[in-house]
């Protein structure tokens, strides 16, 4: 069964969104401040990213372990338990040695950028001659260049890249929220 929205539903949703313009601006300002703090001290931001990743790994690990015991006897117990224990251990290791954790996460990001860039380029070649394929290629090349820069400057990169990436994300998020909030206020 498909649900159709009538014009009234869309108008009500838009009115609720317009009413929240102030919150969007406030969150945008907080996000911008967070981005600027990341740029001011990328090392501290990198360590923060490490701790956030550690917390997520530990939370997922605990959840997997609990879930493993809830499906005991269904055939997936050992695999689910093993994944949970491994996730929990990764989280504990990230907390125990945040510098090594930041280095490991930076290596993973560098590898991910290489593969993501190659995938984007391959995809862009498959969509040729469609409009926009060149931009996908440029994006793929940019991802590969970022990966190269991470590995070319590895000791420095491990201490700062994750924090700088977080700063970029928070800054762009803040700008997008501010622009959306002001556009809603003026509409």
Integer CA distances (angstroms), 164 to 36, 48, 149, 159, in order? 10, 12, 13, 10
Average pLDDT, the chain: 88
**Of 69, 88, 91, residue with least CA distance to 78:** 69
Chain segment 107-157, per-residue pLDDT in tens: 988 999 899 999 999 988 988 877 778 888 998 898 899 889 889 988 788
b/e per residue 98-135 (b: at least 16 CB within 10 A) = beebbbbbbeebbeebbebbeebbeebeeeeeeeeeee
Regarding pTM above 0.75, the answer is: no
């Amino acid at each position: 069964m498909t649900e159709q929205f009538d014009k009234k539903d869309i108008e009500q949703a838009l009115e609720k969104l317009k009413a929240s313009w102030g919150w969007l601006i406030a969150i945008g300002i907080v996000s911008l401040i967070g981005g600027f703090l990341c740029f001011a001290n990328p090392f501290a931001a990198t360590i923060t990213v490490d701790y956030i990743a550690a917390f997520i790994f530990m939370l997922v690990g605990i959840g997997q372990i609990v879930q493993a015991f809830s499906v005991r006897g269904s055939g997936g117990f050992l695999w689910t338990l093993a994944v949970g224990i491994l996730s929990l251990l990764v989280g504990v290791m990230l907390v125990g040695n945040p510098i090594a954790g930041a280095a490991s996460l930076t290596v993973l990001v560098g590898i991910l950028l290489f593969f993501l860039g190659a995938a984007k380029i391959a995809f862009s070649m498959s969509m040729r001659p469609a409009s926009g394929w060149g931009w996908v290629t440029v994006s793929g090349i940019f991802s590969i260049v970022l990966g190269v820069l991470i590995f070319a400057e590895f000791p420095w990169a491990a201490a700062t890249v994750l924090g700088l990436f977080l700063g970029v994300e928070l800054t762009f998020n803040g700008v997008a929220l501010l622009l959306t909030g002001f556009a809603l206020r003026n509409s």
